[in-house]
Each structure stands twice: as structure tokens, then as C-alpha cells.
Copies of this chain bind each other. A is one copy, B any other.
Amino acid sequence: MTSPIDAARRPRRDALENRAGILAAAHVALAHDPRASVDAIARQAGLSRRALYGHFDDRDALVRELVAQGAARFNAVAASIDDADPRLALARLAASLWNEAAHVQVLAAIALDEAHLEETATALAPLRRTVVRIVRDGQDADVLRTDVAGPTLARLVEETARTVITRIDASSPAARDLAVRAVLSIAGLSWREAGTLLGEHPEILATPAMPATPATPATPSEAAGA
């Protein structure tokens, strides 16, 4: 089936692995320091700086791919929220995003530091729209605070989630708990109300249903079989 043209254009397997390795390395390096050098990233991926430029035109291209990757995950999370109760929707959204903490770190770092502001903003637009919708519904139903205008509250929720996930402990067992409670508090609930709500829906804080962390999505070993 594979025409000679396809065969000629298909990249070598090791090249694909290396490309994925670069992205993974960039993930780590940029989360730690959003302006890590191309050399540092390449080296962390076990490659030379020169080889990296064989995979990405540009430092910018690499960053853009990372942003796209993260945005896709976030927006998938946003789309999966379907609770009728806006309070539960918020809680579940926060919990789900916490599971993507590693990606939040990179995105947040890039968004804050670099000149990629517009880019990340558009990439995350669906997630933002979800938050806005939940907040609006919650205010209409009078279950979320109404002393703060809708758009402002949405922004506040977003910033709170980002802050807690990126700037507090990061991966302690209680961190997800904290992220969820912080968001509910900012949304207007008292801490006891939040506690009651979470007590009634223990699945929100339960260990993630998702399969651990598929950190390296493109590991060739299992595909190769034997």
C-alpha cells in the first residue's frame, strides 16, 4: 500500500522518538524555567542543539507545539464536565485540571513569561468559555456568589486554580483537595458548605479514574510487541 513517495517521506523511527523526547524534555525544562535555552532542552533530551533544529524550525515552533499539546488536554477536560449543579461542575473541573498539573505548569509558565500571551489565550479559549458558562449558570441559580460580576468571578476562579496548582506544593497528596476547596471558596461557598458538598460527592476527590499518567504517549516498545 505504501507508495514509494510515502515511504520516502516517512521519518525514521528513532527520529520520531527523538522528536517526542525533545518535547518531553522541553516540558520539564520550561516548566522549571520558562526561558530555558535550546541547548539546555536538547541536552536534557540527550541530543545536540544542532539536532533539535532538525526537528523544529525554531525555538518558537517548539514552544507552540507544547502549547497546542497542553491546550488540547485542557479543552478535553473542559468538554467532559457535565454536572447540572454549577458548584459540582466547578469542583470537578478543578479536580480534573489538577490531574493535568504537569501541563498546567508549562502552560502557565509559558503564558506568564514569554511573548506567547495571545497564543496561549486563544488556545485556552474553550476552557475559559466553560468557566464563564458555569459561573453564569451558578449566579443565575443563586448558588454562587453574586457580589462579583460574572466575568470577573470567572477570571478570579481561573486565577485561583492556576495559582493553587502552580504555586502550592504541586504534588502532595492533599494538593488536589486544596485546589478544589480553594476554587469553591472563591466562588462564594463557606468552607463548611464546601466540605458538605464534597462529602456528598466523594468521587470528585477520589483517586483519578484516568490511568495514572500516560507521560510518554508515543513509547514504541508496546507497539512493537515481539
Chain A residues at the B interface, C-beta cutoff of 8 Å: 112-113, 145-148, 152, 155-156, 159-160, 163-164, 167-168, 178, 181-182, 185-186, 188-191, 193, 195
Contacts and interface: CB of A to CB of B under 8 A. Distances in A.
Contact of A163 (B146, B147, B163, B195): B163
A160 B188 CA distance: 14
A147 B181 CA distance: 9
Contacts of A188: 185, 190-191
Contacts of A195: 147
Q: Which of A147, A155, A168, A195 has the most CB of B within 10 A?
A: A147
Nearest to A167: B159
A190 B142 CA distance: 13
A51 B182 CA distance: 48
27 contacts: A112-B112, A145-B185, A145-B191, A146-B191, A147-B181, A147-B191, A147-B195, A148-B181, A152-B168, A155-B168, A156-B178, A159-B163, A159-B164, A159-B168, A160-B160, A160-B163, A160-B186, A163-B163, A182-B186, A185-B185, A185-B186, A185-B188, A188-B190, A188-B191, A189-B190, A190-B190, A190-B193
A167 B166 CA distance: 15
Contacts of A152: 168, 178
Going nearest first, the 7 A-B pairs with the smallest beta carbon separation are A190-B190, A145-B191, A188-B191, A163-B163, A185-B185, A159-B163, A185-B186
Given A163-B163, A185-B185, 20 more contacts: A112-B112, A113-B113, A145-B185, A145-B191, A147-B191, A148-B191, A152-B168, A152-B178, A156-B164, A159-B163, A159-B164, A159-B168, A160-B182, A160-B186, A185-B186, A185-B188, A188-B191, A189-B190, A190-B190, A190-B193
Q: Which of A156, A186, A191 has the most CB of B within 10 A?
A: A191
A146 B167 CA distance: 21
Contacts of A186: 160, 182, 185-186
A155 B182 CA distance: 12
